[in-house]
Amino acid sequence: CNHPIYCNGPILERIQLSGVFDKDKTFVDMPTRKPVKDIVAAFEHLPENATKESVAKFVDDNFYPIGYDIVEAELEDWTDDPPFLRDVTDPVLRGYGMSVHKQWKKLARRQDTSKLCKGCESSLISTNNVFIVPGGSTSREFRYWNSYHINLGLLKSGLYKTAKGALQNLLDTVAQYGFVPTGGRIYFTDRSELPLLPLMIKDYYDATHDQTFVAEALPLLQKEYSFWDTYRSGNISYTRNEGKTNSLLSNLASIFLRPESYLQDYVTSKTSMSGPDLFSTSLFNGDFYAASEAGTTPSDELLVLGTADINNTIAVNLNSILYQSETIIADFIKLLSNNTETQKSLQYRQSASERRQTLLDLAYNPQTGLFSDYHVSTGKHSEIWSINSLWSYWAFADAMPSEGSQQALDSLAELHNKFPGGLPNTYYNTTLLWDWPNVQSPMQHMAIKSAAAIESLPSYRRRAGGVGRGIAAGIAQSTLATSFCNWYTTGGTISGVLNSYDNASGNSSGASFGSYKIGADGNIITTTDASDPGDYAWTNGVLLWLYGEYGSQIEIPTC
């Protein structure tokens, strides 16, 4: 990212540190009113000791308001008869599903820079198709991580053209940058997120059997994989029993001030942070734990900037996803070669096999059946266990020791019993979004997929995750219940079927939320306040996926 306004430089620093806006993202989403060179020249005349009011005037004189470069979009393939509802008979379940489906109309956007002056610029990455925004108050572009779960929902809604267009937007960024940036703004082009594009293309193909699109996408999937293999990998040497050495991808990253979170990152980087209060979880006499009972902070694990040793950490979820990517790319090569294995497809399968084995060698604990991130510098597992580490079972449960798979499923069942309102990513109260007491639908989806993969094994011994349900279906029911009850308490109604909740906010017709909170008892905390739902589109995507996959096993809860 190299732009004198949106990425770095004195203009960005002055405006973001001045506190003109409540949210840093506001400024970097504002298109210019003048050519950039004219704004740079005007900035030279802004005094060093300019007041906040003077900085605000400079912004007003030189930049359009946020949202000036996008417009709401119509969905050409809209349907009032979504496939996921065709076998659902319960009127409340149908009504709720339809209310979620209709929210796609509110989230669809397309780029429109026609109102900008000649020579004016926007921070948007150019896109040719409709995209779905994450849903929060600062959502004005696509986001990579969010797009995966949105894609799940679009496909279950039968919006195949919209899904294909959104996927093409992501493929176009790979063609331009070599990878999918974190989001659809140029200030996101110096970083990426978990590389889920191959999984998205696979989901699209499974739903549509559009082999032509697979053929168009495959070279770009290989290009993105090459980026991760070349620029985000590290060689890990170790000795196995037979004396072999292996390499494994490591989650390489750099620390910098993010343009869209500039002031927040600046303050954090100047602050000496102490370890946060920890929420302790111990199961099975301490064999499986997320925090010590004493409440001490493991070294260099929880500090937000500058101290987390990311470059020397083998991330279980990232490498599990890359295993899936390697397998999917190999499958696509075979598909496009008349279902015949080729030298190239076998190379990808070999890479997947080596990656899986190295994860088993370094990140797997055979006593618990669980994976943990591995610190290369210390040769030890992370002391902080994350639900994300279950991703390996989604990726390759069929290659795991049967006893370990059962232990992992038992652990997941225990967690579900302890946290029936939703599974947090970690069990530390860091005050950050991805830690306790916050729960998000993407983590529930991952846990469901991992549990389902184990439950599909011949060696699986059934253990109920709810009355008459397996663990995967039990988590699916809890995920629906959490979302439905918060939708209901924020004003959700179904005409002629479900009346309004007594204390619901009068200006809301029911809200989805990007994140929910659980209480000390593990149950969900419902709210009547829909004023700040956050990035809720991924919640909608997961919900509609649940309808499609578990429609016969889920039911409306009592709230």
Model pLDDT for residues 379-417, shown as the tens digit of each residue? 899 888 899 999 999 999 999 988 899 999 999 999 999
Q: Which two tokens stand for residue 222?
A: 């290989």
∠ CA 270-274-279, nearest 5°, is: 135
User: Which ranges of 342-470 would DSSP assign to H, the alpha helix?
Assistant: 343-362, 391-396, 402-418, 441-455
381 DSSP β-pair partners:
374
Q: Which two tokens stand for residue 528?
A: 């009547």
Distance CA 391, CA 130 (A): 30
CATH class of the region 70-251+314-553: mainly alpha
Residue 139 has pLDDT above 70, yes or no: yes
Give the model's confidence band at 297: pLDDT under 50 very low, under 70 low, under 90 confident, else very high: very low
The pLDDT score that the predictor gives to residue 188 is: 96
In this structure, are residues 480 and 546 in contact, taking their beta carbons and an 8 Å threshold? yes
Mean pLDDT, residues 141-155: 98
Distance CA 2, CA 55 (A): 23
The pLDDT score that the predictor gives to residue 250 is: 57
The pLDDT score that the predictor gives to residue 242 is: 53
Give the model's confidence band at 303: pLDDT under 50 very low, under 70 low, under 90 confident, else very high: very low
Residue-wise pLDDT for 68-107, tens only, equals 999 999 999 999 999 999 999 999 999 999 999 999 999 9
Q: Which two tokens stand for residue 141?
A: 């572009």
The residue among 305, 277, 303 whose CA lies nearest residue 292 is: 277
Q: Which two tokens stand for residue 396?
A: 């390759």
For the chain, give every domain's residue range: 1-66, 70-251+314-553
The pLDDT score that the predictor gives to residue 548 is: 97
The secondary structure of residue 286, as a DSSP letter, is: G
